[in-house]
Each structure stands twice: as C-alpha cells, then as structure tokens.
C-alpha cells in the first residue's frame, strides 16, 4: 500500500490531459506530465502483479502499457518545456532535421554578431562601437555622438537618439533578413510539428482514458485500504436482515482533528427499534453522532472498512439528511422554507430500507408550529415510512413517543453541570435528556453576564408559568376559506352583457336589484 502511495502521488490527471489532447488543446507540460505518469504506471503494474486477486489483476490489465507513447514524448518534447508553444523552445533537438537547421542559423547569429562587431571596430577605429538589436529597428550599429563624425561613408543612418547614432550597412541588412526569417520559420515549423504530435495521439485516446480510469479506481481503493490500516477500521458485515448495528462507532474526521480522545458510541436499529429520538445540550455531540453513523453505513455500502469496533449493516437503499440551516436567496427561499422542502422530499421518498437523519426540525418558526411539525414528521416516519431514523430535537414533548409507539426509543448525549459551566461527555445514554443547557452554552460562547442574568430570570418565569394550565394560543389560519358568494354575485358570474339588448339589460338590472333587496 505505501509503495503504491509514492507512485500514485506522482501521477497527474491522466483523464483530463487525455481530454485536452483529443481536443488538440494540451500544453507542452501536459505531455511531460503524461509521460512521467505513464512511467509510474509501469512501476505500479509490477507491484500489482504480485497480488493474488482477480479484481486487482483485472485492474492491472486495464492500466495498459504505453512504452511507445513514452518514447515518442521523450524524443519530441524538451525535458523542461515552456508553458505554451507560442514562443517556441518546445520541440526537442534531433526530432526534426528542418527545425534543427533553422535553429542552427539563429544560434550562429550570436557568434556572427560578435565577429561583425569586432571587424567594424577594427576597420573604423571606433573602439566604443556596438552592434545591437531591438524588435522595432532590427539589427543596428551604435556609435556615440562623440565619435559619430568618424562613421564610415557606407554606414546608413537608421535612428538618432540623445547620446548615440544608430546605423546599418548592406551586409548587416542581409544578415538581419536571413536571421529573422529563420526565427519566424523556426517558430512556424515548431508549431506545425507540435500540432502533428497531438494529432498522432488519436489512436491511443481510448487506451489512455482506460488507463486514467483504472488509475482513479486504484487510487480510491488504495486510499480506503491505507485509511483502514492507519485508523483501525473494521470489516463490516453486510446482511439481508433489516438492521443497522454499530458497536463503538467513531467519526474519522472529528477523531483526526480534535486533541482529546474521541468518545465512541453504539447504535442499534432493527424492526423493533426503527427510530432513536436524540436529545441533549447544544454542542453535546448530537449531530456528530448522527453523521458518524450515516458515514459508517455509507462506507460499508461502497465496500470499505468502517471506523467502528464492529458493524452489521442490512439492506439500505438510500440515506436522507435534514441537517444544518441555510437559506436560498437566489430562489427567494427562507431558511424554514428550505428546511420544509427537504423534509417533504424525505417524507415522500423514504422507505423502510432508508436511513433518515433529522436534526432539529421546526426550529425556524414559532414554538407551537415547530413542535407540531416536528411531532407530525416523527410520527409519519415511524408509522408510515418506517425508516431507520435518527431524530435529534430540543422539543422534549416528543420524547413521550417512546411510551406510546413501540418502534421509538429515546437516547441522549450526556453532560455534567459544574459551577455555572457545563462539561460535555459526548457519550450516548438511554432515555431522554432532562434539559438543554442553553444558557450554559451561551456563557461558553461569551454572551455578556448581564444578558445571561436577564435570561435566567425569564427562564425561571417561563418554567413557573409552564406549570399552570393555560390554553394554547389559537393562530388564525392564513388560508381561511372565503365567504360564500351571494345570489347576486352568482348571477353576475353567469351573464354575458354582450348578449343583451338594451331592453334586456335594463330588465336584468331591475332583477338584480330585487335579489339584492331580498338578501
């Protein structure tokens, strides 16, 4: 596994590079990355050959051997090419004879300029004479104003600057035309060769895509195996029974990033217990407990080892989640609307083989509305969908369902209160929590003490009033039915004024007046 890690880490995105090659948009460095990746694939094939597994050997066959492409790129592209072909320097020396000749002319130009400059210095007697080049004026001879009167007669003035004069000669002009044309031809030749190189990959595209797909599969399998060994995962048991049994389950991400030891917890769901109502303080670990169990089920279903001491997973068709809070401003949907839309999807589509995670349903609206919806959703999931459900809530009224409905049980995340602070134990216990510890969590978050004191007074008053029997406020429905239309309104809806003569219209007016009088 660890030998494969080193090789896989060096492999580029073969599938993406292959797509670029097929579209003739691959850059030079893409080809070098492909070449290095295909070399590493050969090493991986040797490592996989020793593994006694039909599936692994089938994967090994799909990796393929691309020695011809490796050699082609090696002979065609320089070892460290530029990012793009625009400025040249991509095609390797020796790949094309014509390109090598054009490059030789450009290369020899530097030496020719040095020789030409020395000859002109000797013939003119001007030791400060220089030969230079720029893109605007090409090659030129530069003499300072101090020595410009010594310029030979065959020098042709090309440019006058503040301190120097620039000249050219017929010989320099011929040399310039030959060198510049060779550079342009060299760049054009290089671009054409690079285009031909990309087109030559066409017969190999399908094989490269297969290699890229096989590397991706191997990378995923290798990562799952490495994590299973490093993080002490166990092999889950998949069965046909309708159950989810997890012993000492853990959340691998939370376990990895937190400094304290992770508190592992059990979860058992079957035909007799299909819903767990989870209560406990904020930050107590309710969401983590729900997510870790969903993650364990998901990993088991894709064939991976799981972060638990033991796991037995039955037939699970889908995992539904309603966790978190967030609005959708682009579609004009509030947080509560998003929550209800996702809940509706769950209630309509969850089956008895589904795992459902419901986290604090109904918190985005008024207390009575939220409680009513949460209770109704819990009952529907337990009695109609009969899905495996983890239902986290702060509505303690819902915890009474375990006494009324056979397939519902209560669990809670434990915590200890000490000197107006709270210590989270993160351990799952049977039964419902006694309180939510909201004020203690607010204190941990840094809420000012005066605010907390006022909150405590209000809480004490609310708890005192809750013991009294008071009628529940009646909310007026927004969708109350409209009053029945009167006889005059019904008659008006039936008549068409365009069908009446003036006499008939007048008679109808009197008739409607009589009907209105009776009403």
How far is residue 361's CA from residue 322's CA, in Å, rounded to a whole number? 8
Beta bridge partners of 428: 413
Take residue 165 and report the two structure tokens written for it: 């004069």
CA separation (Å) from 453 to 450, 458, 464?
Answer: 5, 9, 17
CA dihedral 362, 364, 369, 370 (to 10 degrees): 20
Task: Find out whether 343 and 375 touch, Cβ atoms under 8 Å.
Answer: no
316-363 pLDDT, tens digit per residue, is 999 999 887 666 677 777 888 888 888 999 999 999 999 999 988 887
The pLDDT of residue 214 is 94
Looking at every residue in the chain, the average pLDDT score rounds to 87
Query: For residue 467, is pLDDT > 70?
Result: no
273-289 pLDDT, tens digit per residue, is 999 999 988 788 889 99
CA dihedral 325, 331, 337, 342 (to 10 degrees): -70
Query: For residue 267, is pLDDT > 70?
Result: yes
CA separation (Å) from 159 to 154, 165, 341, 490, 503?
Answer: 15, 6, 76, 98, 103
CA dihedral 246, 251, 256, 261 (to 10 degrees): -70
The pLDDT of residue 26 is 94
The confidence band for 485, taking pLDDT boundaries of 50, 70 and 90, is: confident
435-457 pLDDT, tens digit per residue, is 777 777 777 778 888 887 888 88
Take residue 296 and report the two structure tokens written for it: 């364990």
Task: Find out whether 133 and 139 touch, Cβ atoms under 8 Å.
Answer: yes
How far is residue 448's CA from residue 330's CA, in Å, rounded to a whole number? 35
Per-residue pLDDT averaged across 163-190, rounded? 85
Task: Find out whether 398 and 411 touch, Cβ atoms under 8 Å.
Answer: no
Q: Give the global pTM.
A: 0.71
Task: Find out whether 407 and 379 touch, Cβ atoms under 8 Å.
Answer: no
CA separation (Å) from 351 to 273, 360, 505?
Answer: 15, 21, 62
Take residue 45 and report the two structure tokens written for it: 């094939």
Neighbours of 12 (CB within 10 A): 19
Task: Find out whether 64 and 209 touch, Cβ atoms under 8 Å.
Answer: no
Query: What share of the chain has pLDDT > 90, as a percent?
Result: 45
Query: For residue 137, is pLDDT > 90?
Result: no
Neighbours of 359 (CB within 10 A): 20
Pairing of strands 237-238, 310-313: parallel
How far is residue 235's CA from residue 229's CA, in Å, rounded to a whole number? 11
Q: How far is CA 397 from the centre of its chain?
A: 39
Tokens 């003036």: give the residue: 502
294-304 pLDDT, tens digit per residue, is 999 999 999 99
Q: What are phi and psi of 483, to 5 degrees?
A: -65, 155
Query: For residue 2, is pLDDT > 80?
Result: no
The confidence band for 478, taking pLDDT boundaries of 50, 70 and 90, is: very low
Upper half-sphere CA count for residue 33 (Cβ side, 13 Å): 21
Which one-letter DSSP state was computed for residue 66? Answer: -
Q: Which of 72-86, 106-120, 331-345, 498-512 has the highest mean pLDDT?
A: 72-86
Strand order in the sheet with 265-269: 237-238, 310-313, 244-249, 265-269
Query: For residue 135, is pLDDT > 90?
Result: no
How far is residue 380's CA from residue 377's CA, in Å, rounded to a whole number? 5
The confidence band for 411, taking pLDDT boundaries of 50, 70 and 90, is: very high
């Amino acid at each position: 596994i660890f030998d494969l890690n080193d090789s896989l880490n060096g492999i580029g995105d073969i599938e993406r590079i292959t797509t670029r090659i097929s579209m003739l948009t691959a850059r030079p460095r893409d080809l070098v990355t492909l070449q290095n990746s295909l070399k590493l694939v050969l090493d991986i094939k040797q490592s996989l050959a020793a593994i006694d597994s039909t599936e692994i050997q089938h994967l090994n066959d799909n990796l393929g051997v691309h020695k011809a492409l490796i050699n082609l790129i090696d002979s065609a592209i320089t070892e460290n090419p530029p990012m793009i072909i625009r400025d040249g320097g991509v095609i390797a020396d020796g790949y094309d004879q014509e390109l090598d000749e054009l490059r030789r002319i450009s290369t020899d130009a530097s030496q020719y300029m040095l020789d030409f400059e020395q000859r002109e210095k000797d013939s003119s007697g001007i030791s400060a004479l220089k030969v230079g080049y720029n893109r605007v004026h090409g090659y030129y001879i530069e003499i300072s104003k101090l020595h410009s009167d010594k310029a030979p007669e065959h020098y042709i003035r090309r440019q006058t600057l503040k301190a120097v004069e620039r000249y050219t000669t017929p010989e320099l002009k011929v040399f310039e035309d030959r060198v510049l044309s060779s550079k342009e031809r060299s760049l054009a030749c290089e671009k054409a060769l690079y285009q031909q190189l990309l087109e030559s990959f066409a017969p190999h595209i399908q094989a490269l895509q297969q290699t890229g797909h096989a590397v991706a599969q191997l990378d995923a399998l290798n990562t799952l195996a490495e994590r299973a060994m490093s993080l002490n995962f166990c092999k889950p048991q998949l069965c046909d029974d309708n159950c989810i049994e997890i012993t000492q389950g853990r959340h691998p991400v939370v376990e990895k990033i937190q400094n304290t030891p992770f508190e592992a917890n059990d979860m058992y769901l079957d035909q007799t217990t299909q819903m767990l109502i989870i209560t406990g303080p904020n930050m107590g670990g309710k969401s983590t407990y729900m997510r870790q169990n969903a993650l364990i089920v998901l990993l088991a279903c894709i064939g991976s080892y799981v972060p638990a001491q033991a796991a037995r997973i039955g037939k699970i068709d889908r995992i539904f989640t309603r966790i978190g809070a967030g609005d959708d401003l682009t579609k004009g949907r509030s947080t509560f609307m998003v929550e209800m839309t996702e809940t509706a999807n769950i209630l309509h589509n969850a089956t008895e083989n589904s795992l459902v995670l419901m986290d604090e349903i109904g918190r985005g609206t008024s207390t009575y509305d939220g409680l009513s919806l949460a209770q109704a959703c819990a009952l529907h999931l337990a009695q109609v969908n009969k899905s495996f459900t983890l239902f986290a809530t702060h509505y303690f009224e819902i915890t009474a369902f375990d006494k009324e409905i056979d397939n519902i049980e209560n669990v809670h995340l434990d915590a200890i209160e000490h000197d107006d602070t709270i210590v989270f134990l993160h351990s799952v216990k049977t039964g419902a929590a006694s309180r939510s510890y909201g004020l203690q969590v607010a204190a941990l978050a840094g809420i000012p003490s005066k605010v907390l004191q006022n909150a405590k007074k209000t809480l004490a008053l609310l708890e005192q009033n809750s013991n009294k029997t008071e009628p529940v406020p009646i909310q007026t429905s927004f969708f109350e039915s409209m009053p029945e239309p009167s006889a005059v309104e019904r008659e008006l809806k039936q008549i068409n004024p365009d069908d009446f003569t003036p006499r008939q219209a007048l008679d109808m007016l009197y008739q409607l007046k009589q009907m209105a009088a009776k009403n």
